[in-house]
Amino acid sequence: MRTQVAIIGGGPAGSLLSILLGQAGIESVIVEHRTREYVLSRIRAGVLEKPSVEGLDDSGLGERMQREGFVHRGINLAFLGRLLRIDFDDLVHGSVTVYGQTELQKDLYHALDMRAGTILDEADEVELHDVGGPSPYVTFRSHGEIVRLDCEFIAGCDGSHGISRDSIPAALSRTYERTYPFGWLGILSETPPVSGELIYANHPRGFALCSMRHENLSRYYLQCDLETNIGEWPDQRFWDELRLRLPDEPADTIVIGASIEKSITPLRSFVFEPMQHGNLFLAGDSAHVMPPTGAKGLNMAIADVFLLSDALIGYYRDGTKDGLDHYSETALRRVWKVIRFSWWMTGLMHRLETEGELGQKIQEAELEYLASSRAAQTALAENYTGLPLR
């Protein structure tokens, strides 16, 4: 087999890249380890920044998102028994859209099917070859047979547990990582959300988040130890603890119900440099992972893909390699700004045992400062609603 761009990974990053390239007349083949059904079964992020929404709209991929997504023009920060609303519309004329990653993936698959995009599912033993040379190719096992896919470029969009970044020599790369000593215990409940906008709660007992998927599907999280046993957290215990960490008004009005999904999410900050080597380019979680506190993971993948698609389209349309040559440098400038924001917001809202009561008091003082400073609120709103894609 032969194509112009081999894309490793068929999640949102790989699917979106294939669509954008196809719109410019560039051939690509997606090599995906899992089945389509498995990819669509994964529960992931549900908040899209304004630049992500605009980019998807401009690419003809936002029709259902605009129809079914929920536009949020602010978030609420809970601390010391009060709620502070960060008004995105007033501060930066911005917003975010609540639209589940699973729903976006459905839209991307539909667009690929309409364009007859090539997705090779259930590919095992995937290996990348000659990524630093002029003739890269990919081999994998499909239905018992070894397949060779020759290409001109490879896009590694296969996530944090994928194989793409391992093809960049260790002597030429560097990783930066922090694993947080806590996680999020989360439940999904078929109940109306307690608020029309997200609530991030700072409390001495630990962080809490009230989120949503739609008007009758709520997502709630509690900060927990990494060793937490889900079996020791029946639904009633979760609801009782959530109420303790919220101000009185939302605590008294929250609608409880049986959980339909319960999980623990570990938190970490991770960046791999560089995001390119020879004719291999990384995008999304294959190059960086950040805590979900600021809802940035999916959005950062979208930003990478738009930047990479611009570079590849520039090469095939105009013969210029400038965008490709500087892809990693350009992408990482945005990545580090987003990592910084996620780091800051995680540190602001979570109970940090190593910092003790002093750390809790400093967090509360910073939240009080946010409440009194329009400039500080503007900085938060600008970062939360999204830095420019390009």
Q: What is the pLDDT of residues 66-100, one digit of tens each?
A: 999 999 999 999 999 999 999 999 999 999 999 98
214 given a catalytic annotation: no
pLDDT of residue 43: 67
Structural domains counted in the chain: 2
120 and 171 co-located in one domain = yes
303 and 241 co-located in one domain = no
pLDDT of residue 37: 87
258 and 366 co-located in one domain = yes
If phi over 0 gives left and psi between -120 and 50 gives alpha, with beta otherwise, what is residue 295?
A: left
CATH of the domain at 154: 3.50.50.60
266 given a catalytic annotation: no
Residue pair 342/290 in contact (Cβ under 8 Å)? The answer is yes
The dihedral formed by the CA atoms of 245, 248, 253 and 255, expressed in degrees to the nearest 10: 10
DSSP E strand boundaries for the chain:
5-8, 28-31, 47-49, 70-72, 74-79, 82-87, 96-98, 118-120, 124-129, 137-142, 145-150, 153-156, 174-189, 199-201, 208-214, 217-224, 259-273, 276-277, 280-282, 288-289
27 and 149 co-located in one domain = yes
**Residue 84 belongs to a domain:** no
Alpha-carbon span 163 to 154, nearest angstrom: 12
**Residue 89 belongs to a domain:** no
For 46, 91, 103, 191, 200, the CA distances from 209, given in Å and listed in that order, are: 13, 23, 22, 15, 5
**Residue 146 belongs to a domain:** yes
Residue with tokens 């999916």: 298
- CA within 13 Å, CB half, 383: 21
**Residue 65 belongs to a domain:** yes
212 and 134 co-located in one domain = no
Sequence-distant (6+) residues with CB within 8 A of 286 are 9, 156, 157, 158, 159, 160, 162, 164, 165, 272
The dihedral formed by the CA atoms of 237, 195, 76 and 380, expressed in degrees to the nearest 10: 110
**Residue 77 belongs to a domain:** no
155 and 55 co-located in one domain = yes
253 and 374 co-located in one domain = yes
Alpha-carbon span 63 to 57, nearest angstrom: 7
**Residue 261 belongs to a domain:** yes
38 given a catalytic annotation: no
Range of the domain at 232: 180-267+350-385
- For 315-347, the pLDDT digits (tens) are 999 999 999 999 999 999 999 999 999 999 999
**Residue 231 belongs to a domain:** yes
In eight-state DSSP terms, residue 121 is -
292 given a catalytic annotation: yes
263 and 275 co-located in one domain = no
329 and 303 co-located in one domain = yes
How many of the other CB atoms lie within 10 Å of CB of 80?
13
Residue with tokens 């995008």: 283
Backbone angles phi, psi at 93, to 5 degrees: 55, 40
246 and 341 co-located in one domain = no
Tokens of 41: 């079964």
pLDDT of residue 116: 82
How many of the other CB atoms lie within 10 Å of CB of 113?
10
Out of 292, 315, 327, 350, the active site residue is 292
Tokens of 383: 């970062």
Alpha-carbon span 298 to 215, nearest angstrom: 22
168 and 238 co-located in one domain = no
Residue pair 201/250 in contact (Cβ under 8 Å)? The answer is no
296 given a catalytic annotation: yes
* Residues of the chain with confidence (pLDDT) below 70: 43, 45
Sequence-distant (6+) residues with CB within 8 A of 135 are 150
- CA within 13 Å, CB half, 329: 5
Contacts for 57-66: CB closer than 8 Å, 24+ residues apart: 59/19, 59/20, 59/23, 60/23, 60/111, 61/16, 61/19, 61/107, 61/108, 61/111, 64/103, 64/107, 65/97, 65/99, 65/103, 65/104, 65/107
Out of 109, 180, 200, 220, the active site residue is 200
40 and 16 co-located in one domain = yes
Alpha-carbon span 121 to 33, nearest angstrom: 6
Sequence-distant (6+) residues with CB within 8 A of 38 are none
**Residue 365 belongs to a domain:** yes
CATH of the domain at 370: 3.30.9.10
